[in-house]
Chain A
Amino acid sequence: MRVESNISRNAPADGQQEHWDGEASTGHVLKPGELDLSHNVILYLDDITVSFDGFRALNKLSLQIDAGELRCFIGPNGAGKTTMMDVITGKTRPDSGKAFFGQTIDLTRMTEPQIAHAGIGRKFQKPTIFENHSVFENLELALKTDKRVKKSLFARLFGDDLDKIADTLRQIRLTDQADRPAGLLSHGQKQWLEIGMLLVQDPKLLLLDEPVAGMTDDETERTAELFVSLKGKHSLMVVEHDMAFVEALGGKVTVLHEGSVLAEGDLATVQADQRVIEVYLGR
């Protein structure tokens, strides 16, 4: 536990920026447990295989996500998108293969809270927020702070925290709802609140599973704007079926099929790919 909390605290944002520029890192000292972005890659998956009762949910899946990248994942049902996220967040252990966060953090050896502390945040399909707490309190609880009992008993919100919450409220467009119980929000607003709860934790990598499911067109559009604005500061992996949304995000698209990568590239290229068309139409 000690180790991961160091990462988040000791890695200053500008320090990372140096690495992200792709600067040659001669004489670079590897610190175990600390997020190392010296090759400008935040996530490596190499030859990951996961099988459930003989069914291969992931089949030698290999991919990498660059620091600051916004990547969309599409693919038919059962292609392994959710399983991939389970592996990254430690919910599922792969049968074989490697998963690294940065150059040095081996995700296959860590528990879920450890991975969360290391800087990977995940939003599930179904929004899970604290319905009895106000919107403000939801963000306050998620805020990146010392989360031990002793600190919580005497916790006060200081200027920095309030600014952070206020900024996040603005980002997720819930400033005027701050005092309302979260349970009274619309479905789309709940999704935003959960995204906000991820953001106040300041994750390096965000995993978003169908973030616009159940949103109105207007809300979907605003969500796309939000994600595009996050690009660069955070790395994002978005699983989505809504092609208009994927198009609006504009990043690179990876098509998964039967547990491995079928095609990769911008949306137009991928959509023109004959194999992708077959997978989607031949189903």
Chain B
Amino acid sequence: MRTPVTVKLFAGLGPKGWLAVALAALVGWVLVPMAHLLLPEGHPLHVSTYAITLIGKILCYAVVAVAMDLIWGFGGILSLGHGVFFALGGYSFGMYLMRQIGREGSYQSDLPDFMVFLDWKELPWYWTGSDHFLWALFLAVAVPGLIAWIFGYFAFRSRIKGVYFSIITQALTYAAMLFFFRNETGFGGNNGFTDFKRILGYSVTAPETRLALFGLSVALLLGALILGRVLIASKFGKVLTAIRDSESRVMFIGYNPLHYKLFIWTLSAMLCGLAGALYVPQVGIINPSEMSVANSIEIAIWVAVGGRGTLIGPVLGAGIVNLSKSWFTTSFPEYWLFFLGLLFILVTLYLPQGVVGAWAKLRSRKAAKPAAPAPAPSVKAAATPEPEMPAGSAAKGASA
């Protein structure tokens, strides 16, 4: 009796999970680059540079969705301001890209163009060292992490929960957006950072660089998924979901929810920061609109569409929503927001557990059907996930 229980507890990723990771890595690191480099442009299986960049961008979004799911799906904390951490990571790394432009900007100055335009003579103190790649990368993780930690500490210590917390996170991202919009704060005003030329000396627009960034995005997403999986399977994950389900009970058995929430919240923000840092060189621009409230709400929609409380769900959700977004915004740009709103309403009404939840339900219904006429339902049929049990049932179906 005891052995299977412990085996299940320590399994973490499991053989199936590792297989899925290996397959994804194979596709991301071998097949797609081969299809891009080796196949001629007219070939039906050729992957264009445009597609590489688009998918790379969506992979970064998927990392954000996974980070969002860690706090919302597993921790029960809905953030409607997660875009701010993504953008902070993007800005931190964006400045490095600005410095890499060197004297090739319009004003041929050592300073970034927007600073010359403002007639600044030297770099503000907070951008010291931003010409170093590693320092910029460190900032991209540390700045969102620090801000999340401070914000989270006060919010969670005051036991701000539910919709109140969501509203405050909206205010946070909105305030940050207004701050970054200003010219005198040193973040490039409403144009943000753009016109990047090089990264680590390599041309940003070269297909090889694009491919390398794409491969890094695949790596980051897989890393985020593995990290999430290990966290959720650990005792920490069980405490986290217990806090989501009944915080007061968790306190009663001696855990301090503050530290648990703060840990996952900060970790989530740091993941978003890394995703932002990878996003900026691929997209070529970072500006304050990334911090708009609508953007952050969209992150929540990705997770809701894919299925929160599962790790693969947010990845699917980010993919589905963003692919349809890039199709809509080229074909019917004026209807995109209507479609997004409709999607959110439909998912809330008919797919409360998202695509993954619906898939798991469908499968369990199929599995339960033959057992139904039997007088005594089997244990499996009795354990059919009920609608109010999101994480347990859905996570099993989608632990990859």
- Could you list which residues of chain A lie within 8 angstroms of chain B, going by C-beta atoms? 112-113, 116-117, 122, 128-133, 136-137, 140-142, 144, 147-149, 152-157, 162, 166, 175-176, 178-181, 183-184, 197, 201
A133 to B231 Cα, complex, angstroms:
16
Partner of B242, one of A122, A141, A155, A162: A141
- Sample (9) of A-B pairs whose CB atoms are under 8 Å apart: A112-B251, A113-B251, A132-B241, A133-B241, A140-B238, A149-B236, A153-B234, A156-B10, A183-B389
Contacting residues of chain B (1-53) with chain A, CB-CB under 8 angstroms: 1-2, 4-6, 8-10
Nearest Cβ in chain A — how far from B7, in angstroms? Answer: 11
- B260: interface (CB < 8 Å): yes
Chain B residues lying within 8 Å of A152, measured Cβ to Cβ, are 234-236, 239, 260
Q: Is the CB of A178 within 8 A of B241?
A: no
Chain A residue nearest in CB terms to B244: A132
- B377: interface (CB < 8 Å): no
A253 to B236 Cα, complex, angstroms:
43
- What sequence of 0s and 1s flags, for each residue 250-272 of chain B, a beta carbon within 8 Å of any chain A beta carbon? 11111110011001000000000
Partner of B389, one of A131, A147, A175, A201: A131
Q: Is the CB of B234 within 8 A of A130?
A: no
Q: Is the CB of A157 within 8 A of B6?
A: yes
Nearest Cβ in chain B — how far from A201, in angstroms? Answer: 7
Query: Which size class do B's interface residues fall under?
Result: 35 or more
Chain A residue nearest in CB terms to B3: A162
Chain A residues lying within 8 Å of B255, measured Cβ to Cβ, are 141, 147
Nearest Cβ in chain A — how far from B195, in angstroms? Answer: 43
A98 to B344 Cα, complex, angstroms:
56
Chain B residues lying within 8 Å of A153, measured Cβ to Cβ, are 231, 234-236
Q: With contacts A132-B389, A132-B392 known, is A116 near B238, CB below 8 A?
A: no
Q: Is the CB of A131 within 8 A of B6?
A: no
A122 to B252 Cα, complex, angstroms:
9
Nearest Cβ in chain B — how far from A148, in angstroms? Answer: 7
Q: Is the CB of A148 within 8 A of B389?
A: no
- Could you list which residues of chain B lie within 8 angstroms of chain A, going by C-beta atoms? 1-2, 4-6, 8-10, 231, 234-236, 238-239, 241-242, 245-246, 249-256, 259-260, 263, 382-383, 386, 389-392
Nearest Cβ in chain B — how far from A144, in angstroms? Answer: 8
Q: Which among B5, B231, B390, B392 has the greatest number of chain A C-beta atoms within 10 A? A: B5
Other A-B contacts than A130-B246, A132-B392, 13 sampled, CB-CB below 8 A, are A112-B252, A116-B254, A128-B246, A129-B249, A132-B391, A133-B241, A140-B235, A144-B254, A152-B236, A153-B234, A178-B1, A184-B382, A201-B254
Chain B residue nearest in CB terms to A114: B254
Partner of B245, one of A130, A178, A179: A130
Chain A residues lying within 8 Å of B6, measured Cβ to Cβ, are 157, 162
Leading 7 A-B pairs by shortest Cβ distance:
A155-B235, A152-B236, A132-B392, A152-B235, A142-B253, A147-B255, A149-B259
Nearest Cβ in chain A — how far from B71, in angstroms? Answer: 15
Q: Is the CB of A128 within 8 A of B249?
A: yes
A129 to B317 Cα, complex, angstroms:
31
Chain A residues lying within 8 Å of B259, measured Cβ to Cβ, are 148-149
A176 to B2 Cα, complex, angstroms:
10
Chain B residues lying within 8 Å of A183, measured Cβ to Cβ, are 386, 389
Chain A residue nearest in CB terms to B249: A128
A167 to B241 Cα, complex, angstroms:
25
Chain A residues lying within 8 Å of B250, measured Cβ to Cβ, are 141
Q: Is the CB of A178 within 8 A of B5?
A: yes
Nearest Cβ in chain A — how far from B392, in angstroms? Answer: 5
Partner of A175, one of B1, B8, B239, B253: B1
